Amino acid sequence: MFVDEAEIFVKAGDGGDGAVSFHREKYIAAGGPDGGDGGKGGDVVFVADTGMTNLIDFRYKRKYLAQKGENGGAKNSSGKSAPDLVIKVPVGTVIKEAESGRVLADIIEGSPVVIAHGGKGGRGNARFATSTRQIPKFAKPGFRGEEFRLRLELKLIADVGLVGMPNVGKSTLISVLSAARPKIANYHFTTLTPVLGVVKLDYERSFVMADIPGLIEGASGGAGLGHEFLRHIERCRLIVHVLDVSGSEGRDPTEDFEIINKELSGFSEELAKAPMIVAANKCDSAAEEQISRLREFVQAKGLDFFEISAATTQGTKELAESIWERLSQLPPVKRFQPEPFTREELDSKLIRDKSFSVEITDGVYQVEAPWLWDILRSVNMEDYESLQYFQRVLRNSGIINKLEEMGVKEGDTVSIEGFEFEFVF
């Protein structure tokens, strides 16, 4: 099975919590704070793997979680940082945020790309000792790791893309020009997945050609097989439009040409403007009148026209040489420009939704407010200043006002995201 798109969830590791600890040693009274810092959470890293050809592995595993950093310890011991979670993908995979479609990375080269950064470790209580606060009884929890729902799209890396109606001879052509061995038979949709082949002209000259499964009318809207693979043409520097000049299946090659170009345009305007040449295949079984008519049609559109017969290799060498000459004048394979999120954008995503709900269950006021999770972890209920900060957050967010509207009384139990305490005015 060839899989070229998938959706997954990734989460970098949370940072380890800082430790609350005080120095204890024989004959040393009133040892000071010595709680160490937490370790950094693991990053989520993507790297290209030349041994992978599609995204089928991501059909069976959709959630990837990096490890949390180790908590700090006594004697100023810092927790260990967690190892990175390395995810291997095929060369040519474009990684997008699923919600917005924003490109986060284009995995072409072997260099690892960090998509989700692990959270920093929290500071231990030794960090908070000052001349006026000599025995801090609190530490900071680790920061939360970044998380994303991602869409992976494989866009094959090829210099040349062969397009055309089913059974026009694309598979035969790539088998003649390269070492690729696609299935070849006299019926439609013989090729069910894109096929890559390296065309070697001599020791120093070569290029990669892709045989894209047959397109049909309506492909850009989901008809046939071609709509699944149109994305693989996007990187191609040159499109070779293969036509059956003999009309062996009762089709008019000029109509085929217009249909396929319409589908390319329907998928992407940029793709419709890509450089193109036309290979008139099956010339060995076509009348000269048929060839002349198609040549005039193609040249009127300003495109180069080549007469070939993939079955007999007639004109195929000349076609390959012309493709090389054309490629030497074209820019390199297209790369998709990443737009990674800024720190400000990531922070705003975490606190964007400050909604909450309050329900009374068995006399307990249940508050659901997921955005309070990080704040709750940072609060030390035994520290007055920290507690005052937490109360201000509840007041400013409207949670306390809502509790009062619902009749909460002093001493009633309030539960916020699983943390329970007695309500005090």
- The tokens of 371 are what? 């955005």
Mean pLDDT of the chain: 83
160-327 falls under which CATH superfamily?
P-loop containing nucleotide triphosphate hydrolases (3.40.50.300)
Distances (CA, A) of 21 to 16, 34, 361: 15, 5, 38
**What pLDDT sits at residue 308?**
93
For residue 155, the one-letter residue type is K
Task: Band the pLDDT of 33: cuts 50, 70, 90.
Answer: confident
Q: How many CB atoms lie within 10 A of CB 309?
A: 22
Can you spell out the DSSP letters for 205-273? -EEEEEEPPPP-TTGGGT-TTGGGTGGGGTT-SEEEEEEETT-TTS--HHHHHHHHHHHHHHH-HHHHT
Q: How many CB atoms lie within 10 A of CB 401?
A: 12
Can you spell out the DSSP letters for 383-396? SHHHHHHHHHHHHH
1-155 falls under which CATH superfamily?
GTP1/OBG domain (2.70.210.12)
- Decide if pLDDT at 227 tops 60: no
Task: Band the pLDDT of 104: cuts 50, 70, 90.
Answer: very high
353-422 falls under which CATH superfamily?
GTP-binding protein OBG, C-terminal domain (3.30.300.350)
Among 84-93, 126-135, 157-166, the range scoring the smallest mean pLDDT is 126-135
- Decide if pLDDT at 296 tops 60: yes
* 384 or 347, higher pLDDT: 384
Please tell me the total number of residues recorded for the chain in this structure. Answer: 425
**What pLDDT sits at residue 61?**
92
pLDDT single digits (tens) 242-279:
999 998 778 899 999 998 888 888 877 777 788 999 99
Which residues have C-beta within 8 Å of that of residue 229, sequence separation ≥ 6?
Answer: 4, 193, 194, 212, 213
CB 371 within 8 A of CB 411: no
Name the residue ranges covered by the structural domains of the chain. Answer: 1-155, 160-327, 353-422
d(CA 87, CA 104): 15
**What pLDDT sits at residue 190?**
44
pLDDT single digits (tens) 53-88:
788 889 889 999 999 999 999 888 999 999 999 999
- Decide if pLDDT at 216 tops 70: no
DSSP letter, residue 315 = T
Mean pLDDT of the region 282-311:
93
pLDDT single digits (tens) 154-202:
887 788 988 888 888 888 898 889 875 644 444 344 445 677 788 999 8
* 386 or 245, higher pLDDT: 245
**What pLDDT sits at residue 111?**
82
d(CA 67, CA 38): 13
- The tokens of 90 are what? 């095929």
**What pLDDT sits at residue 51?**
83
Task: Band the pLDDT of 377: cuts 50, 70, 90.
Answer: low
Coil, strand or helix: which one is 172? Answer: helix
CB 160 within 8 A of CB 327: yes
d(CA 218, CA 193): 18
> In CATH terms, are 1-155 and 353-422 the same topology?
no
CA angle 325, 326, 329 (to 5 degrees): 95
- Decide if pLDDT at 131 tops 80: no
The pTM of the full predicted model, rounded to 2 decimals, is 0.71
pLDDT single digits (tens) 309-354:
998 999 999 999 999 999 999 988 888 888 888 766 776 665 556 7
Mean pLDDT of the region 110-115:
88
DSSP letter, residue 398 = T
* 226 or 130, higher pLDDT: 130
CA Rg, the chain, in Å? Answer: 32
Task: Band the pLDDT of 382: cuts 50, 70, 90.
Answer: low
